Amino acid sequence: MTDQPAENQHDPELQESEQDKDFTEMREVPLLFGKAFIIGAADVVPGVSGGTMGLILGIYKRMIDAIKSVNGVAVRSLLTFNLKGVFAQVHWKFGLTLILGIFTALLFFTRIVPLPVYMYSHPELIYGLFFGLILGSVVLLTLDLGRFSLRAFISMLTGTVAGYIIVTLVPTETPDHPLFLLLTGSIAITALILPGVSGSFLLLIMRKYDTILGAIGQLGTPQTMDAIMILIPFGIGVVAGLAVFSRILSWLLDRYYLVTLCLLIGFMAGSLYIIWPFQDREFIQSERPQIVNVSSPLVAMAAESTPSERVPEFLVLGDILNPEAPESEQMVEVIVVKNALISSTPFIPSTDTADADQRLSAGKASVHHGYIMMLIGILAVLMLGYISRTKASKRPGRS
């Protein structure tokens, strides 16, 4: 840790405010936005960690520092309307770019390109890419450690076992109370800063993945207010979780860097079990009935919807509840059926029998697509590693 002047050594907040300044330059904002977009895309996919993507993209420590910069000094400045002090303390350029990039990705991959749908319809493509990214990162980061001690090995092994246990937990039934949504947000957001642990998978374990992603997808629709009532307590939990966990992790990185990094690499390695693109997945269906007018768009959508496990949800058209009423006033029951993943067991596919294997989305083509995307992921990591090393040699002390 950087030495502090003697007069500041007894004021932890002052020490914190004088180190790790935000060196974000406007010219790098587009690249940072792109990296944040990738992190947001990863957070949509259960089993893939946004923190892992931050580590791969070389902005992991800056993410931690930006979160940690929102401290007591910044809060006091805000409460006294000292905006200059707030901007001087908070890593606002980096933080704002990160938030905008992640939120843009969440909207893009829920409203425009429905990534959660592709996870069901073409899982080999999505998980194959992320498997390659994470596998390549584990190898690259391990090689970067240099000297490998027994303590580092034990830390990495511990992280691998812990990561495996987390990703193999079975989802359970949970309530929709605002207090539980707040708790869900505080737990799930730790994955943004903890490589190898997927925020989406934690949401899935707590049975809130569809709830949160659905609420984001409903923004700007007639269900906007319902979505906001879900997202507000979840967002409060996110802020609380970031404030607490970022400081714990930053403290560990500052004092036990090698051991902590090995633990994080282990988390990433342990998560590979659930990200392997070829999985025998088991789903459970939950039903949520809605009563709508016969002219509602949901009625037309339900009439065209086809029940399938290859989609996150589908609609079932029910009966008309008041057939004696005039046609324009008739009410219809529309049932929203959601497929929730409850177990996932990896397997190695055989190309000889792939076309008849119901576990694969497109037979033999799925096998080829999965391995190709893995290779693309590994090559992408190697490229990012090369770029990061080139930049590090030009800008010493920055990562």
User: Where would I find the H helices in 206-354?
Assistant: 209-218, 224-255, 257-275, 297-304
- What's the pLDDT score for residue 48? 65
d(C-alpha 336, C-alpha 311), whole Å: 12
- Helix axis angle, 224-255 to 257-275, nearest 10°: 140
User: Of all residues in the chain, what percent carry a pLDDT higher than 90?
Assistant: 14
What's the rounded Cα separation, in Å, for the pair 372 and 378? Answer: 10
Q: Lowest-pLDDT range, 19-23, 37-41, 162-166?
A: 19-23
CB atoms near residue 315 (< 10 Å): 20
Q: Where are the domains of the chain?
A: 12-278+362-394, 280-346
pLDDT at residue 327 is higher than 50: yes
Residue 361 CB neighbour total at 10 angstroms: 18
Q: Which amino acid is at 31?
A: L
How far, in Å, CA of 8 to CA of 12, rounded?
8
Checking if the pLDDT of 267 tops 70, the result is yes
C-beta of residue 163 within 8 angstroms of C-beta of residue 196: yes
pLDDT in tens, 308-318: 888 888 899 98
Evaluate whether 33 touches 97 at the Cβ level (below 8 Å): yes
142 to 107, 130, 380: CA distances (angstroms)? 34, 18, 17
pTM over 0.75: no
Average pLDDT score over the chain: 79
- Please write the tens of the pLDDT for every residue from 334-367: 998 888 777 788 999 998 899 999 899 989 999 9
pLDDT tens-digit map of 174-220:
677 888 889 888 887 776 666 656 676 677 667 677 678 778 767 77
Neighbour count for residue 38 (Cβ, 10 Å): 20
Q: Residue 15: CB partners within 8 Å, gap ≥ 6? A: 4, 8, 9
Average pLDDT over residues 106-126: 81
**CA neighbor of 55 nearest in space, from 271, 243, 219, 255:** 271
